[in-house]
Structure 1
C-alpha cells in the first residue's frame, strides 16, 4: 500500500516505522523537520517538511497515488482539515484522523472520516481489563469507584503490584514509564517515577496516601496522561 501520514509525533513515527517495516510505501509529513528523528532506524520511506493540509505538500507526497491518508498531529482541527482535503480534493478512499476529544468524533463521521480517539481507546482498555479478567472478585465498579493517577515514590519502588493492591479498593491497571505504558499483572514491579493508573474507591484514597506517602490524583479517562 501507499500510505501518507501527516504528523510525526510519537504515534505518527511509530505507525510510519511499523508500516515501513511491513513493506508498505510510506511518506511522512510534519511541519517540524526535527520530528523525523523519532522515526525508527529501519524506516525507509520519505519525509517531507510542511503542513498536511497544504495541497503542494500533499502532491509532493504523492497523495494522488495514496491508498490511505492518516492524520495524527496533536491538533484536532489540523487533522480534520487534512482529512477533508485528502478525501474531497484528491479522492483518497480511506482517510483516518486522530481525535483527542471524543465529543468531536460524530462531527468527523458526518464528514465521512474514520477516526481513532486515544482517550476512548485507553478508557475501553482499562474497562475491558478490569471487567474481563478480575471484575467480579477484585473490583467493584460502582459510582464510588474512580480512576486515579499516582506518581510512584521510593516507598513503592521495588514492590510488586500484587503486594500493594487492596482488594475491592485499589487496583493498579496501567503503569506509564517514560514514554511507554504497560498493562500490569500481579508480578509487575514498580519503579521510582512510574505513573500508576488505578481503579480506586473513594474510601481508599486517604488509606493509600497514608500507607505509601503518595498523592492520589483522581481523574477521568480524558485526563489520563498515557502516551498514546
Structure 2
C-alpha cells in the first residue's frame, strides 16, 4: 500500500484523494483551511490534517518520513514548489509531483528535475495516472476511464480461467484485447472468450471501479 500525501484540498486535490484512497492508497490530505476538507467525497477513507503543506512539522505529522509520494496541488505555484522541494530535499520522498499554473515556469521545473502537471483540465486524472503506474501499464486517460495493459491475476479468487462476460459483468469493465501468456495467440475477445491466469489484457476501466478491480492486475 502506497503512503501518499496530498497538499491542497480544492476540487483537484479532493478528487485525487478520493481516487487514490479508493485504490487502496494510504492517503493524508493537508490544507491550511479546515473548511476545505468538506470538498472530500463521502467515499474518501484517508485522513486530513490542517496546516501549511511546506511546514516541516506539518509534513512530519502527515507521515512524510514514510511517504512514497507527495503531490502539491494548491492554487499557488510558489506554495506547490515549496512543498515538493521540502519533501524532496529534506525528507527525500522518492516521488514528488507539483501542480503548475503558469506554463512560463515549465522550463524551470524541468531544470530542477521536478515532475509536474501543467493546466487545469483533467489535472486530477493526470496526477492519478502518474501515481498509479504500479498497477500494470497505464496507457491513457479517456474522460472517466483508464486504459490499462496488465497480466491477469486470477489466483486472488482461486480461479485458473474466467469468461470475458463474467469479468465485464461483475466489474463494469470492457476488455478490448488479450494475448495468451505464452504469446501463442492474441485476439479481440467475444463475450464467450476464456481468459487464463497470466494472460496479457488490454482493458478500459472506469476510475471509480479501478480500486476493486486492481486485485486482478499482476504487479
TM, length-normalised to structure 2: 0.54
Report if aligned partners of 1:72, 1:98 keep a CA contact under 8 Å in 2.
yes
> What's the counterpart of residue 100 of structure 1?
101
Query: Deviation digits for residues 174-218 of structure 1, max 9, x if unmatched?
Result: xxxxxxx99xxxxxxxxxxxxxxxxxxxxxxxxxxxxxxxxxxxx
Report if aligned partners of 1:72, 1:79 keep a CA contact under 8 Å in 2.
yes
> What's the counterpart of residue 86 of structure 2?
85
Q: Greater shift after overlay, 51-60 or 104-113? A: 104-113
Correspondence 1:31 to 2:22: no
Report if aligned partners of 1:68, 1:92 keep a CA contact under 8 Å in 2.
yes
Q: What's the CA shift for 1:66?
A: 0.5
Distance 2:51 2:69 in 1: 19
5+ residue gaps, structure 1: 123-180, 183-228
Distance 2:79 2:27 in 1: 20
Distance 1:59 1:96 in 2: 18
> What's the counterpart of residue 132 of structure 2?
none
Cα gap change, 1:121 to 1:26, in 2 (>3 Å)? closer
Q: What's the CA shift for 1:120?
A: 8.2
Query: Deviation digits for residues 47-70 of structure 1, max 9, x if unmatched?
Result: 000011000000000001100000
5+ residue gaps, structure 2: 124-142, 145-219
Q: What's the CA shift for 1:119?
A: 5.1
Distance 1:38 1:3 in 2: 18
> What's the counterpart of residue 137 of structure 2?
none
> What's the counterpart of residue 41 of structure 2?
40
Distance 2:9 2:20 in 1: 13
Cα gap change, 1:27 to 1:120, in 2 (>3 Å)? closer
* 1:51-200 matches, cutoff 5 A: 51-118=52-119
Count of aligned pairs between the two proteins: 124
> What's the counterpart of residue 170 of structure 1?
none
Max radius of gyration: which structure? 1
Correspondence 1:11 to 2:15: no
Distance 1:6 1:119 in 2: 16
SS in 1 for 2:116: strand
Q: Which runs of 4+ in 1 moved over 3 A?
A: 119-122
Q: What's the CA shift for 1:112?
A: 2.1
> What's the counterpart of residue 182 of structure 2?
none
